[in-house]
Structures are given as structure tokens and as C-alpha cells.
Amino acid sequence: MAKIEVNNIYKIFGTNPEDVLQMVKDGATKEEVLEETGHTVGLDNVSISIEEGETFVCMGLSGSGKSTLIRHINRLIDPTSGDVKVDGISVMELTDNELIEFRKHKMSMVFQRFGLFPHKTVIQNVAYGLEIQGKELQERNKIAMTQIEAVGLNGFEDQYPSQLSGGMQQRVGLARALATNPGILLMDEAFSALDPLIRSDMQKQLLELQSELKKTIVFITHDLDESLKIGDHIGILNAGKLVQVGRPEEIILNPADEYVKAFVKDVNRAKVLRARTVMISPEKFNGKNVSISSSLKVHEDVYVEEFLPQVLQDRSVIIVVDKQGNTKGYITEKELAKSLSKSGQEDGHQKYT
């Protein structure tokens, strides 16, 4: 069972959304609905499934519906039609009191504009969710300090938000979201307001934290490079419709339509592709009598060995092995060069070293 299931969500903004719903279901575009009824289509039959512990990135241009989508998960917005389930429980069926408890304990949200209390210190901001949960001062300060140290703000716990840089304020927001130890972390354009260098640092820190914490993260962004960097899966929205969902390399290699192609056309594929993307199953070749010429590191936990086997007509290939030396497959020089060709790289091998 998936951690989060979004099932056939429609969201129409206006005075009589239920009256317009059938028009949308019959295939009317967002522009047609606005022109004929004055209503705005936020989401048009969106369904996604997010597994526990993965980072799912939802991206699209402004007005595509990505922020509307994430706010359905914690029910800040109710759908016109459809359902959202978390751990198999319908969020739409929760009573007011159940919804309050659900938001207190199940998930946290990190906002684009930080959302910090200006009159509270860093430690008070970070501990706020714990205070709402009813934890004692000593306990919540202890937990808050752990998260403050985790995001690299040790020594700033008694400062106020106005005394911090934008990047530091966003770290406080992230620490606050993590302090309640939620299973789900919702991040709505969390790094978009930051300068490029600070933004890159925050992305790196999020990846490091996620490698340890294994939270289920739903991350909203309009930046393709950011989505490719942090996402396990990416969902791309256009005018309220989900046009493609896939792993980063799948999005790059097989864009679903012209809208997605426009997004990925300038991406350097060498930064996205992994050995597994172009790897051929090891059962399809015989590696006997192979002369190994070098060993190369491909990714954090993937190494390859380059050789010239007789069985493949003397063409260069790369064996892909894991840390334990187990053969996972192989990559031909031709396929590797082909997969990277659109990024303008002639020497494909070096991009995997």
C-alpha cells in the first residue's frame, strides 16, 4: 500500500464548481472553462501514488496546479471531486478534531516564505509544533536543539528571525517541520526564494537529511534542475493535468509530450543518467576470458569495470558491479554515447567516472 494516494482529484475554483465539474470531465480545457463559466480549473483528474520514504517532486509552470495539489494532501484545500488517502485512510472523511490530530502528528509543511514567528527565537520557532502537541518545555527544547544542530544552526538558537539570513531562516523552517518527527514532509517551493548558492546548499542538506531520516517528501518546484537533483520520482503538471510521472532519467529520455520536451530540452543528460538507465542485463553476455583494464566509480554505490570482450565483437563495454563486486549488467560504448548525445557530450565514458 502506498503512503499517499491521490485518486482522481478535480479542483475547480469559483462560485458553483459542482455545476462546472461535468464540463471538465467531458474534456473542456482550462481556457474554455474560464471563458464560458468564469471558473478556474486548478486540478483536472489528477492521480498519483507516493511510496513511503521516497521524495516525490511535483513541478510545472506557474498556474499549473502544483501548490493546489500539495494542499489537498493535508486538506488545506478540499477537492471538488476525488479522494486523498494517507496510510490507507481517507483524509476527506476525517472529522475536524481528527484532522487537527492528523496535521499535528502525521505531517509537517515547509513554506516558500518561511512562515516564522518574528517575535519568537529560533528555538521557540522550531519547538512550536511540539508545543502544540502538548509536550513539556524541557522535552521540546531538547528535541528542538537536536534539529537545530541537524540543520547547522547550533549557536543561533536564541536569535530572532530578523537576525538571520534568508537561507538560515529556511533552515529554521525545515528544523521546525522535522521537530515533530512527521512521517510526511510537504515542501511548497521551499527553496525558491533563496539565492542560487544558498539554494544549492539547502538542496544538498535536504538530500543528506533524507538519506538518514527516510521521510516521505512531497516537494513542489518550478525548477527542473532542482527536481532532477532531489526527486526519486517527478510528476509534471500542465494546466491542472498530470502529463507525466517517472524517474528523472525516464523524464529526460522519454518526454511524454511537447510541453515536457520544452522543459527538458536544455538539460545536460550526463548529470541525470545513471548506469542502470542504459544497462543491459548480465544474462545476455558471457564475461569469460575478459581483460579488465580499469575500474571506475559511477555513482555513490555503483562501480564499473571497463573491458574489451571477444564476445561482443571487440567493441568496448563497461561492466556494472555493486560494492560487493556482483555483476549487475553491462553498458556498450555505443549505447552510452547515444544516451548522452543530445547533451553534446562526445566522450560518454568520462561522464560516468
Q: Over the stretch 274-309, which tens digit does the pLDDT of each residue have?
A: 555 555 555 554 544 444 444 444 444 444 443 333
Q: Which residue segments constitute the domains of the chain, with CATH numbers given?
A: 4-106+182-267 (3.40.50.300), 275-352 (no CATH)
pLDDT band at 150 (very low <50, low <70, confident <90, very high): confident
Reported as a single tens digit per residue, the pLDDT across 299-344 is: 444 444 433 333 344 445 666 666 566 666 666 666 666 655 544 4
Q: Residue 6 phi/psi, 5° resolution?
A: -105, 115
pLDDT score of 335: 63
Q: Which three cell numbers stand for residue 130?
A: 511540539
Question: In this predicted structure, what is the pLDDT of residue 298?
Answer: 42
The answer to whether 24 and 44 have CB atoms below 8 angstroms apart is yes
* Residue 196: per-residue pLDDT: 81
In a 3-state reduction of DSSP, which class is residue 83?
strand
Say what the pLDDT of residue 14 is.
94
Query: Helices marked H in the chain — which ranges?
Result: 17-25, 30-37, 66-73, 96-105, 122-126, 128-132, 137-150, 166-179, 196-213, 224-230, 248-253, 258-264, 275-278, 333-340
Cβ-contact 186, 73 below 8 angstroms = yes
Kindly indicate the confidence band of residue 165, based on its pLDDT and cuts at 50, 70 and 90.
confident
Output the pTM of the full model: 0.73
Rounded CA separation 278/341 (Å) = 13
